[in-house]
Every structure is written in structure tokens, then in C-alpha cells.
């Protein structure tokens, strides 16, 4: 454990933080205990002059680049949308260690075959009783585009959004593998959490999960910000390309805790898929005024009301390689770090 000085609206507190094994989520919970600022509304800054930190709860604390005795400044936002640049440009991403030092960093898209339990659907303006959930916008309807419940859900969602063809999920994996292969400095063993060639072989397997590392690479490849909206918390994590590749556009995926789905805008609810728009201009600089992000958060609200999410801290897992039973993503991350096993299923 290491001391981290926390400056917040109520004063100054010293937190004891496990900088080596703890996750960003662990840090946020400790901050909540000291400040009563919910994790979804926390905005953290560090360094001198203080600069915003990108908070991806499933990543390890060392992804933030904190040092023992460092001072953190926490303020409260009015919404759960993450400010800042999502994943920063290449050099900043490497220097801050934004990618996980654990193999489990890539494991945030596991199969969700048990997620959508038969809870009674609720009646909301943003949901239909016999079809995909949707939210009205000035351009039509933002629609929840459900992809298969398999370990390729992140890649299927990206294929649907950028290639309009869900069957190209394996091609999306190839893009990730090639990006890692071509840039051994940025994507070194420390960032990936395991030998580079092993990571590449694993991510090419249909059973391997995708997560923050993959979203960062794909945002850069397509020159488009990918915003991931968390159903349980309403938090929005933004993965942005470097400035020289940034087209100023955005795509949105929905994250249920162990599953990713796509979104698109349709002029009419019964319009064929070829009329759906999956990429938009980012619009206003102020995220809280961006219509599509507001609509995506409302979509997450509708799914949350149906309990269409999984709490990754408490769900039961089984390692598909050795059969060991695990509880929550933290134990899965530790097991992956110890064994290199990255194929899990939910009990």
C-alpha cells in the first residue's frame, strides 16, 4: 500500500492505495468513501500543472501513472460522462501506461448469455416491448443494435458500425493484431501484460475478449472516437484517435459489464438496416450538450431498468481452460495474470 494525498471539496485526505494490484475502480471506491462523490461523477487531476486523468474502472491503478505520495485533485461533475480525451494520443498513452499491465485488460467483452435474465420489461418512452430499445433524437431514433452473445461481441459491434457487416468480426481482430505487431514500442510486453506474440495469438482467437486496448487501437485505425456507455452506471468512456488521424466523428457502443452492443440512428423504426447511420459528427465540444451522448445515456437508463447488465465485481466465472471457479473480474484478472488463461464463462 502507498499513500496518495487527495484534495477534494471537503478538505484533504490521505488514502492508502495499492498502486500495483488495485484497479481504477478500487481507487474510485476509496475516493467515494472519503468524499461521498459517486464514481460516475468523479473527475480526477494529477501532476503539475494538474491534468485530467482518464478513468477506465477495469484497468489497473498503475494505468494512471501515479507515484507514491502524489496529490490527486477530485471534483464532482453533474453527470457520469468522462471528460478529457478518452485514450490520449500514442505518446501519452505509452507514457501514462494507459493500457493494462494485466492480461485481463482485454477481457471486458465476455459472453453475456446469462445477462439478459427474464426480468419483466418496464414501460419507458425509450423502450419497445417487442423490439430493440430506442431513444428519439432530432435525426430519428438511436437504436440498440444487439450482436451475438459470444466472446467476439466487441469485434462484432465494431464490424457492424464501421464495415456494416457483422461477419467481419475476425477481420477487426486482424486490425488489432497488426497494429500491435507494427508498433512494438507502444504495445510492449509491459503494456500488454504478457509477451507480444502471445497477446497477438490470443486476440486472434474467437474466444478472446476485447476491451480498452482494442477500443484504443480501433479508434485510431478508423480515425473515429468510440464512446462506450456503461449500462450499470451510465458512465461514458471515450476512446479517441490521435489528433492527426481524428476525423471529428464518433461511434457509440453499449457495455453491459460483460458484453458490447452497437448503436445506430434510423429515420424510422422499421427502416431497413442499410438506412441506419452508425457514425456521427461529435457535435458540440461540451459533452453534456452532445445530443447523441445524451440519447445513449437514456438508452442505458432503459436497459438498466430492465437489469440488462452484470455487476462484474460479484458475478461468478469459470475458467474455460482449467475449470477454476472465480468471483468477479478482479479474481479473473488475478487468475489471468498468474496463469495466462484468458477464456472465461459465466456460471
Residues 187 and 57 grouped into a single domain: no
Q: What is the extent of the structural domain holding 40?
A: 2-78
Question: Angle between the 169-182 and 196-203 helix axes, to the nearest 10 degrees?
Answer: 170
Residues 145 and 268 grouped into a single domain: yes
* Cell numbers standing for residue 91: 505518446
Furthest C-alpha separation in the chain? 57
Polymer length of the chain: 347
Q: How much is the pLDDT for 149?
A: 80
Residues 339 and 237 grouped into a single domain: no
Residues 328 and 299 grouped into a single domain: no
Residue 146 sits in a domain whose CATH number is 3.90.70.80
Residue 261's DSSP bridge partners are: 254
Residues 26/18, Cβ–Cβ less than 8 Å: yes
Can you list the alpha helix ranges (DSSP code H) found in the chain? 24-35, 90-96, 153-158, 169-182, 189-192, 196-203, 212-222, 291-305, 328-339
Residues 162 and 211 grouped into a single domain: yes
Q: What is the mean pLDDT of each run of 10 residues along the chain (347 residues)?
A: 83 84 84 81 80 79 79 73 30 30 34 28 35 87 90 93 94 97 92 89 89 94 95 90 93 90 92 90 71 92 80 69 79 76 66
Residues 225 and 324 grouped into a single domain: no
Buried b (16+ CB within 10 A) or exposed e, 14-50: ebebebebbbbbbbbebbbebbebebbbbbbbbeeee
Q: How much is the pLDDT for 310?
A: 65
Q: How much is the pLDDT for 16?
A: 85
Q: How much is the pLDDT for 262?
A: 96
Residues 35/44, Cβ–Cβ less than 8 Å: no
Residue 57 sits in a domain whose CATH number is 3.10.20.90
Residues 204 and 162 grouped into a single domain: yes
Residues 298 and 322 grouped into a single domain: no
**What CA–CA distance (Å, rounded) separates 283 from 300?**
20
Residues 149 and 183 grouped into a single domain: yes
Residues 239 and 123 grouped into a single domain: yes
Q: How much is the pLDDT for 204?
A: 95
Q: How many domains does the chain have?
A: 3
How far are the Cα atoms of 95, 102, 280 from residue 187, in angstroms, in the given order? 11, 13, 29
The answer as to whether 83 is a domain residue is: no
Please name the helix (run of DSSP H) or strand (run of DSSP E) that holds residue 70, with its range, or none: none
Nearest alpha carbon to residue 155 among 170, 134, 133, 140? 170
Residues 149/141, Cβ–Cβ less than 8 Å: no
- Quote the distance between the C-alpha of residue 259 and its chain's center: 10
How far are the Cα atoms of 103, 182, 264, 276, 281 from residue 307, in angstroms, in the given order? 29, 41, 22, 27, 30
Coil vs helix vs strand at 100: coil
Active site residues: 150, 153, 259, 341
Amino acid at each position: 500500500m502507498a499513500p496518495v494525498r487527495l484534495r477534494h471539496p471537503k478538505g484533504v485526505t490521505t488514502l492508502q492505495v495499492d498502486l500495483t494490484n488495485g484497479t481504477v475502480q478500487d481507487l474510485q471506491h476509496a475516493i467515494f468513501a472519503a468524499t461521498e462523490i459517486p464514481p460516475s461523477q468523479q473527475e480526477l487531476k494529477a501532476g503539475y500543472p494538474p491534468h485530467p486523468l482518464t478513468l477506465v474502472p477495469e484497468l489497473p491503478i498503475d494505468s494512471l501513472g501515479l507515484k507514491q505520495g502524489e496529490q490527486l485533485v477530485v471534483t464532482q461533475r453533474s453527470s457520469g460522462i468522462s471528460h478529457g480525451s478518452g485514450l490520449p494520443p500514442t505518446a501519452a498513452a505509452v507514457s501514462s501506461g494507459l493500457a493494462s499491465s494485466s492480461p485481463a485488460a482485454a477481457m471486458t467483452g465476455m459472453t453475456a448469455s446469462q445477462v439478459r435474465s427474464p426480468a419483466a420489461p418496464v414501460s419507458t418512452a425509450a423502450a419497445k416491448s417487442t423490439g430493440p430499445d430506442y431513444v428519439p433524437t432530432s435525426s430519428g431514433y438511436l437504436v440498440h443494435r444487439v450482436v451475438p452473445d459470444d466472446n467476439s461481441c466487441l469485434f462484432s459491434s465494431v464490424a457492424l458500425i464501421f464495415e456494416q457487416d457483422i461477419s467481419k468480426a475476425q477481420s477487426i481482430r486482424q486490425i488489432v493484431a497488426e497494429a500491435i505487431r507494427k508498433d512494438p514500442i507502444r504495445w510492449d510486453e509491459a503494456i500488454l501484460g504478457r509477451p507480444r506474440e502471445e497477446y497477438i495469438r490470443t486476440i486472434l482467437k474467437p474466444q478472446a475478449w476485447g476491451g480498452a486496448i482494442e477500443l484504443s487501437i480501433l479508434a485510431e485505425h478508423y480515425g473515429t472516437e468510440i464512446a462506450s456507455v456503461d449500462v450499470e452506471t451510465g458512465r461514458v468512456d471515450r476512446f479517441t484517435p490521435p489528433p492527426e488521424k481524428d476525423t471529428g466523428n464518433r461511434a457509440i457502443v453499449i457495455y453491459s459489464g460483460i458484453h458490447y452492443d452497437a448503436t445506430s440512428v434510423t429515420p424510422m423504426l422499421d427502416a431497413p438496416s442499410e438506412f441506419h447511420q452508425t457514425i456521427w459528427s461529435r457535435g458540440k465540444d461540451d459533452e453534456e450538450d452532445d445530443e447523441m451522448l445524451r440519447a445513449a445515456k437514456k438508452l442505458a437508463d432503459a436497459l438498466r431498468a430492465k437489469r440488462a447488465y452484470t455487476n462484474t465485481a460479484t458475478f461468478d466465472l469459470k475458467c474455460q481452460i482449467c475449470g477454476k471457479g472465480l468471483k468477479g473480474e478482479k479474481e479473473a484478472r488475478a487468475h489471468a495474470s498468474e496463469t495466462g488463461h484468458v477464456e472465461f464463462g459465466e456460471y
